[in-house]
Amino acid sequence: MPPYNGKILVVDDEKDFVSAIENYFVEEGYEMLKAYNGADALKIISEKQPWLVLLDIKMPGIDGIEVLKRVRKQFIGTKVIVITAYDEDNRKTVEDIGVEGFLSKPCGIGMLEDKIKELVKNQCKDLTAHGSKKAKAKLLFIEGDSKLKTSLNEFFSDSDKCAGDYTLAFADTPQAAEEQLKSFRPDFALINYTTTKNSNYLTLVMKSQYKPLETMGWGLDIANHHERIATKIFEICEKHNLLV
């Protein structure tokens, strides 16, 4: 079974290539999305939040390099495999930005499938694989949906599920966020841009004198992505020796 929402976005201006990839992986059980340019790709990523993006580099308008930069900045946890005919020109650039894979056209479907299976295997690892250690941190969720607040609170209060010993706080207005940053002093701020409907939260948090260790954001509700967020938090806590 594909991990989490099982969505893969193919971004390429070669429509026949997109159709071929789409048809093949639909048969493998994935929900396939498609875009023929960078602008449409970013809109779909924001609205649908695919688990994986298969990304071409040379496209009209916003090119793949810019799409990759924005994904890395705005959509924590989204995987990206670059598939391009311009490998020598762009390999170092995209690897410096950060990708899960880089394949040259003509692309071997077997190689692509193997890479995706590898990502699935890694993504589906149980958080308990970290052993007895747990992350310890303060989490501030800037969240505008009451049901998501409840589910986030339930998940991140269960140390066995989230592999963490977390203290939680929530905010749903800029004023509340400012107050929590000052009084709660979170290690992580996690912003749901869709439900809060305010694009200024990121600036508010990052410019605060109480800026957290890390700020995460997503463009869609995360009802099915709690494990993804927990994994990312654990990795950052591990890097900064915030484990118990």
Tens of pLDDT, residue by residue over 83-107, are 988 766 788 888 888 899 999 888 8
pLDDT of residue 210 exceeding 90: yes
* pLDDT (0 to 100) of residue 5: 55
Question: Residue 160 above 90 pLDDT?
Answer: no
Beta bridge partners, 102, equal: 82
- pTM summary value: 0.54
**Domain assignments of the chain as residue spans, ordered by start:** 7-123, 127-239
> Can you tell me which residue has the tokens 């207005």?
173
Pick among 3.90.1150.10, 3.40.50.2300, 3.40.50.300, 3.40.30.10: CATH of 7-123: 3.40.50.2300
Asked if 77 and 222 count as a contact pair (C-beta separation under 8 A), the reply is no
Structural tokens at position 156: 């991140």
Mean of per-residue pLDDT scores for the chain: 86
**pLDDT range class, residue 205, cuts 50, 70, 90:** very high
CA atoms of 154 and 205, how far apart (whole Å): 24
Report pLDDT for 4. Answer: 47
Percent of the chain with pLDDT over 70: 89
pLDDT band at 184 (very low <50, low <70, confident <90, very high): very high
Q: How far apart are CA 110 and CA 202, in angstroms?
A: 40
185 sits in the region (left: phi over 0; alpha: psi -120 to 50; else beta) called: left
HSE-CB at 242 with a 13 A cutoff on CA atoms is: 20
Give the CATH H-level superfamily of domain 127-239. Answer: Response regulator (3.40.50.2300)
